[in-house]
Amino acid sequence: MLKLGIIGTNWITKQFVEAAEETKRYQLTRVYSRREETAKEFGADFGVTTVSTDLNEFMTSGDVDVIYIASPNSLHFEQSKAALLAGKHVIVEKPAVTKLTEWQELVALAKEQKLFIFEAARNIHEDSFRKVTELLPDASELLGANLNFMKYSSRYDLVLAGEEPNIFSPKFAGGALMDLGVYVMYAAIAWFGRPTSYHYFAQKITTGVDGKGTIILRYPNFDVTMQTGKIANSDLPSEIYTQKETIHLDAVNSIETINVLDLKTQELRNVPATRLENPMVEEATDFADVIENPTSEALQTSYNDWLEIGAIVHELMEQMRQEAGIKFPTDSF
The mean per-residue pLDDT over the stretch 29-55 comes to 96
The 3-state DSSP class for residue 255 equals: coil
Q: Cis ω on the peptide bond leading into residue 95 (within 30° of 0)?
A: yes
Q: Which residues pair with 214 in a beta bridge?
A: 201, 227
Percent of residues, the chain, with pLDDT higher than 90: 99
124-279 CATH fold: Dihydrodipicolinate Reductase; domain 2 (3.30.360)
Q: Quote the pLDDT of residue 274.
A: 87
Q: What is the pTM of this model?
A: 0.96
Asked if 66 contacts 26 with a C-beta cutoff of 8 angstroms, the reply is: yes
Q: Which residue has the higher pLDDT, 274 or 70?
A: 70
Nearest-5° Cα angle at 200, 77 to 219 = 100
DSSP class of residue 166 equals G
The per-residue pLDDT for range 200-209, each reduced to its tens digit, is 999 999 999 9
The mean per-residue pLDDT over the stretch 36-49 comes to 96
Alpha helices per DSSP H over the chain? 11-23, 36-44, 55-60, 76-85, 100-112, 127-135, 156-160, 181-192, 281-292, 297-324
For 2-120, CATH number? 3.40.50.720
The per-residue pLDDT for range 21-32, each reduced to its tens digit, is 999 999 999 999
Q: Quote the pLDDT of residue 106.
A: 98
Structural domain boundaries in the chain: 2-120, 124-279
